Structures are given as C-alpha cells and as structure tokens.
Amino acid sequence: MRRAINIVPGSGTRILLALLPFLLIAYLYVVVSAERRTANPGDKLLPPIAEMATSMDRLATEPDRRSGDLTLWSDTAASLQRLFIGLGVAAAVGLVLGLTLGLLPVASAGLSPLVAVISMIPPMAILPVLFIVFGLGELSKIVLIVIGIAPFLVRDLAMTVGAIPREQIVKAQTLGASTWQLTLRVALPQAMPRLIEALRLSLGPAFLFLISAEAIAAESGLGYRIFLVRRYLAMDVILPYVAWITLIAYLLDSLLAWLARRVFPWAYVQEARL
C-alpha cells in the first residue's frame, strides 16, 4: 500500500487541486449571498457577483466625473508607484546594511542592537509622527513602507551573510581578496537570492502599510478608494478591490519567484520539488 507521503499529483491533478478551494469558496459565497438577498432584497453586505462585476466594469471603463480618470486604473497606478518606490528603497537599505552587518564584526557590534530595537517598533504606531514630519504627501506613505519592512530585510540578510561558511571567507582572503572584493564576489551573490525571497515575504506587510497610509491621507489609491466608499457600505466595490489587491500581490510574488529562479538557478538546486 502506498503511503500518502509518496503520492505526488500530476500537473493536471495539481491544477485541479489548486482550483478546488477557490471554487468551493465561490460556491459558498453565491449560496450565502442568494440567501441574504432572498431574506432582504436591500441587503448590501454580500452583493451578488453580477453586481460586483457591473461596479468594477464601471470603475474600469467609465471616466470619473470629477477627475476624468478611469478610477480603477488610476488607483492601481498610484498604489503601485508608492509600493514599488517603498520596496525599492527598503531593498537597497536592506542589502547595504545586511551585507555590512553580516560581514563586518565592528559594524555588527555597533548597529545590530539598534536595528533589532527599530525592528520591534510597530510601524503603524508612528504613522502620525510620519505625517507630522513628512507631511501628508507621497513621502510619508513611502517612508512608512520603508520603515515597516527594511529592518526585517536588514536582519534577514545579515543572518544570511553571517552564515556563509568561514572557509569561504578565509579562502577568499588567502587568494588576496580585499574586503570590497569579498563583499562583491562572495557575499553579494549569496545574499541576492535571499533578498528576493525576503521581499516576497514582505509583500503582505508592505501592502498593509500602503493601504493603511492611503486610508488616512490620500486622494487616490486602492486603500483610499476602499475607505472612501465604506461610508456608503458599497461592498460591491470594496470586495472586488480587496480581490484585486490580493491578485496584484499574488502576481508580484509569482514574478519575484520566477525572477529568483531565472537569475539565480544555482540557489535552488537542492530545493525539493513536490
């Protein structure tokens, strides 16, 4: 008798198993939504899927009366611009400080406790401070994303670099490598795959900080739109927007995973393929 641990689904079965939970959730939603509408035709909490599709089609194809923009796409562009700048700055900070703390004992002794303390600060708690210091414009939202995920990236990369076998460091020095050459030729190639993986893990928190900042002070963006229409209980807009944010996050995660395996295939040679 085959053990369950040895049963590996084929590609077709894998796709079916992946789709099954989504189909089940959609089915449950349709059933519950229909029951609520039958009991109360004016119910707004769980609108039918057709109603949500109509609202999204309107937001995606009809220009806004005030701005003339296509609301869905202008909100998406505004949010993605903030997200990409925040992630880019956080990745640069994480990479530089992670390499520094992981390679240089003096830097690690002086800065690691500070980074550890900063990483414990709840970013949302200092959001009012950021608005006071940086204003209500784009900068405060980007800084929130950077403060929210950069400490995690720094600590993760510092541990990754610090775990490089001592033999590699000694061998590179024996061959005459300077600290700068050792950083670029030994530590950086091993840190880059981990940086991408850490960015993947940071996508969820980054979206959380972005939506929170947009909800409080913004004039466009996915978070701004959700909190703007919540006062009308417009669930036919809120739920599709949440699904749209989730889809964007999933696509970004898949893109980063593909990029990591494409650019650094050697880092995934030992990865288990289930």
CATH (domain of 108): 1.10.3720.10
Q: Please indicate, yes or no, if residue 201 is contained in any of the structural domains.
A: yes
Query: What is the tens place of the pLDDT at every residue in 106-118?
Result: 999 999 999 999 9
- Can you give the pTM of this predicted structure? 0.87
d(CA 117, CA 130): 18
What is the Cβ-side half-sphere exposure of residue 220, based on CA atoms within 13 angstroms?
19
Please tell me the number of Cα atoms within 13 Å of 154 on its side-chain side: 24
Domain limits for position 175: 56-60+71-261
Q: Is residue 222 part of a domain?
A: yes
pLDDT digits (tens, 9 = 90+) for 164-206: 999 999 999 999 889 999 999 999 999 999 999 999 999 999 9
Query: For residue 242, how far is the Cα from the chain centroid?
Result: 14
What pLDDT does 158 receive? 95
Give residue 127's pLDDT. 85
Q: What string of DSSP letters covers 9-71? A: --HHHHHHHHHHHHHHHHHHHHHHHHHHHHH-TT--SS--HHHHHHHHHHHHHSB-TTT-SBH
The answer to the question of residue 180 being in a domain is yes
Radius of gyration over alpha carbons of the chain, in Å? 23
Q: Which of 216, 237, 53 is nearest to 141 (CA)?
A: 216
Which segments of the chain have a pLDDT < 70?
Answer: 1, 271-274
Q: How many domains are there within the chain?
A: 1
